[in-house]
Structure 1
């Protein structure tokens, strides 16, 4: 049951080799999800010699556990961006993500993507007020959409805000096509190639199997950076977890939906090989902060039964994603002192369009092309105040969890990242760290970082 619909219905897997020997490249990319493969495709096409290192199988984690929405409608974001960064920066964010939507549409085949509207919906007066403000931001930026009070959903909404002509994809099938495009352009993709050590000064990556990769530029696309560097990126990222259930349905919805109220849900359908599936996502919480996560799946399954009349759940899975203090991803040079080290992270659950947009930013930074989004996404854009507040928030949580972990959860294994006590996640049967979001399989092996070593069980 706990299996992603996408992993269960992808194309037959291409086999990529394990990295062996001593290798050299222009750009080494650590992480074989959408961020890493999209960047590899763009850089290889631009003439760079690219190596991608994935510790397991490409697209096996975050990408294949997403909702599969490729859209520039990232919840309520544009009114906030205008207030924080100004109108032109908000327009730049929209244009970068809308280019990502168009690029995905050009890449995908019919069984991998479907064009439709993305729609935010509100069921409360406060939600409607927020949508009105967002609609005003749409009009200022020039986003094509509509503010309405009815949808096709089987429950009453107070208001809804659409963004026209967006996209939904089968993220694994789409990713598999993108990986072939990257390889055809010359990128070398390696699986089962876990990193053991990185020497930024010598520009060498060492793998667990003894292989070493010498690089000119290094990009960390690991969903969560492997290490906290000088500007404390580990402390600047809050990690959130959400849950998804899917069931076979009779028809597909015309559009895809996201609620803006506190307890609202993400809703879409997917037609896979002639069979429609209905997917509902939500029940969010901070990563590692809940043990009985089976309740989260049950809550979503009940919504499917009550609102859609669907009771036979075919798949259920969960996902997590880091969030930056200002909700804009960190894509670019991690610090001015290390101009050859880049990160791509903090997508706030919008990593499909964000990764495609980010791949253009990384390409243009490395090849010296102009791109108006470079400054907006720059990891060093946030001031000291934002860094400090987020650092206190997450570090305070870490300190509390360390104390609680060793007094309450004495028998729980210790996270191999920074020593927090993990929590057993009964719903997913994983050990989850509440401090920085590391996750471990039942046998103790690493499922998601920043931890790199397995638990001692």
Structure 2
């Protein structure tokens, strides 16, 4: 089965265009350079071009290549157990109501955009449900948190679902869609508004000269902007050590054709989590199932996680016919809220956006609205309370926990081993294989047997079998070493 998301299966990945009509002139300076063409970057760019700003979007691969094109396509203000978790972390702080306000603003933005530009959407109930009786108190807590924050949820003690469910909190009238259709429509509107796009150009560093920031990267990339937005998941330029304030997490998704898919968007409250929804794609009824989340590069083999997800789907949806299985990566911050705002240090004209805890189609849109508003003098009413905050003393335990996890991840990677044959492409390229040492901070990489990638257990950088950067804070390809001679008993393969 394909490891490509079902959204890209129907289209095929678009080609990259390192050069073309959008390439800037040698002395051209943009009002904003946006790095990353997912929903955050494109929402920022679109809001800026609507305000009359000149914008260049720079993307290392192609628009929607990473997380935005690999989600389940849910846009919702009810996000599993997020609200109760934030209440426990932040108490009565105004940050939690601001988070809800940002989610509702993003939902309204997406609904209005899709209606105007004919992007297909469906309105659905969003549910957080208890898959076992032990999870009922968790669901009740989420329900009460949502009610107290003004969301019109209802509580069901016996929800009618196709899976075991002992209680549910339900928020009506949320959105589901094809995320790639959204990305491509947003890109079209950015370009029709005068924005420009460079693809296949990876940014590696920034250099500020007065009021102009030089965005530098592979193949001599040097573009200039008065402001730069890093909308790349983990910031690829990181003077405030955001990578140490984030945990990279992967989760797995499967698509099935199904004769009668559910008409709700559901997420279980416990562990292991299960996220599922129905839908329609190209006239075919569709079931999407996600879950088995874990910290990138750590724990059991990735293929075993997909197998568990497949077994669960077959048990509860026996008529489902598998179409594909893939995974996506997102980031958790220390305090559970998105990290959005200035990079700090000498680059005061650089902003970052990350930490969406797997709800990027909602929080990523909100981040784009806020970042553009900050530049145009039209700030979102919830942005200052939600995003403008310094690390606090109570963040210290979470910070130490992240660093302990990083250490354990490195130990686990060393213990599990990373030796594997060089890829066929590596051999064809000259008998060399990638050296499995992360180019970010030297972490020992683990082989991901589901996606055929090298994954870093420290900060979530990922590389192809041939060593090319796929995502994460790393910006440079893996070093390459000559393949060792074939060894007896290895099936004609060699090891690195």
* Aligned partner of 2:238 among 219, 228, 240: 228
Per the alignment, residue 325 of structure 2 pairs with: 316
| 1:312-335 superposed Cα distances (whole Å, 9 cap, x missing partner) | 311100011110111110111133
In structure 2, C-alpha distance between the alignment counterparts of 1:12 and 1:327, rounded to whole Å:
33
With normalisation by structure 2, the TM-score equals 0.86
Per the alignment, residue 52 of structure 1 pairs with: 57
Per the alignment, residue 268 of structure 2 pairs with: 259
| 1:99-133 superposed Cα distances (whole Å, 9 cap, x missing partner) | 21122112225663111111110123442112222
In structure 2, C-alpha distance between the alignment counterparts of 1:192 and 1:164, rounded to whole Å:
40
Higher mean Cα deviation, 419-428 or 367-376?
A: 367-376
* Aligned partner of 2:180 among 133, 157, 172: 172
* Contact 1:78–1:138 (CA under 8 A) maintained in structure 2: yes
* Aligned partner of 1:435 among 435, 440, 458: 458
- Distance change (3 Å), C-alpha of 1:128 and 1:362: same
In structure 1, C-alpha distance between the alignment counterparts of 2:143 and 2:195, rounded to whole Å:
42
- Distance change (3 Å), C-alpha of 1:409 and 1:15: closer
* Contact 1:219–1:341 (CA under 8 A) maintained in structure 2: yes
1:108 counterpart SS class: helix
In structure 1, C-alpha distance between the alignment counterparts of 2:35 and 2:306, rounded to whole Å:
32
Per the alignment, residue 207 of structure 1 pairs with: 217
Mapping for residues 85-234 of structure 1, pairs under 5 Å: 86=92, 88-108=94-114, 112-201=120-209, 203-229=213-239, 231-234=240-243
Alignment of 1:295 onto 2:290: no
Higher mean Cα deviation, 103-112 or 116-125?
A: 103-112
Could you tell me which runs of 5 or more consecutive residues in structure 1 were left unpaired when the two chains were aligned: none
* Contact 2:410–2:457 (CA under 8 A) maintained in structure 1: no
Aligned-pair CA distance for 1:16: 5.8
Per the alignment, residue 439 of structure 2 pairs with: 416
* Aligned partner of 1:332 among 335, 341, 346: 341
Aligned-pair CA distance for 1:373: 2.1
* Contact 1:238–1:322 (CA under 8 A) maintained in structure 2: yes
Higher mean Cα deviation, 278-287 or 147-156?
A: 147-156
Higher mean Cα deviation, 411-420 or 239-248?
A: 411-420
In structure 1, C-alpha distance between the alignment counterparts of 2:247 and 2:131, rounded to whole Å:
27
Higher mean Cα deviation, 422-431 or 364-373?
A: 364-373
Per the alignment, residue 45 of structure 2 pairs with: 40
* Contact 1:73–1:118 (CA under 8 A) maintained in structure 2: yes
Per the alignment, residue 283 of structure 1 pairs with: 292
In structure 2, C-alpha distance between the alignment counterparts of 1:56 and 1:308, rounded to whole Å:
35
- Distance change (3 Å), C-alpha of 1:116 and 1:87: farther
- Distance change (3 Å), C-alpha of 1:16 and 1:167: farther
1:114 counterpart SS class: strand
Could you tell me which runs of 5 or more consecutive residues in structure 2 were left unpaired when the two chains were aligned: 420-434, 481-496
| 1:276-319 superposed Cα distances (whole Å, 9 cap, x missing partner) | 11111011111001462111111111111111113531110001
In structure 1, C-alpha distance between the alignment counterparts of 2:135 and 2:415, rounded to whole Å:
41
In structure 1, C-alpha distance between the alignment counterparts of 2:353 and 2:66, rounded to whole Å:
16
- Distance change (3 Å), C-alpha of 1:27 and 1:150: same
In structure 1, C-alpha distance between the alignment counterparts of 2:36 and 2:99, rounded to whole Å:
24
In structure 1, C-alpha distance between the alignment counterparts of 2:336 and 2:150, rounded to whole Å:
21
4+ runs of 1 displaced by more than 6 Å? none
2:323 counterpart SS class: strand
* Contact 1:76–1:131 (CA under 8 A) maintained in structure 2: yes
Alignment of 1:242 onto 2:255: no
* Contact 1:431–1:442 (CA under 8 A) maintained in structure 2: yes
In structure 1, C-alpha distance between the alignment counterparts of 2:297 and 2:336, rounded to whole Å:
21
Per the alignment, residue 478 of structure 2 pairs with: 455
1:335 counterpart SS class: coil
Q: CA RMSD in A?
A: 2.3
* Contact 2:287–2:320 (CA under 8 A) maintained in structure 1: no
Higher mean Cα deviation, 94-103 or 167-176?
A: 94-103
In structure 1, C-alpha distance between the alignment counterparts of 2:446 and 2:379, rounded to whole Å:
46
In structure 1, C-alpha distance between the alignment counterparts of 2:250 and 2:222, rounded to whole Å:
34
- Distance change (3 Å), C-alpha of 1:360 and 1:85: farther
| 1:23-68 superposed Cα distances (whole Å, 9 cap, x missing partner) | 3111111111111011100111112111110011011111111111
- Report the count of equivalent residues: 455
- Distance change (3 Å), C-alpha of 1:384 and 1:340: farther
In structure 2, C-alpha distance between the alignment counterparts of 1:410 and 1:143, rounded to whole Å:
47
1:339 counterpart SS class: coil
In structure 1, C-alpha distance between the alignment counterparts of 2:139 and 2:414, rounded to whole Å:
44
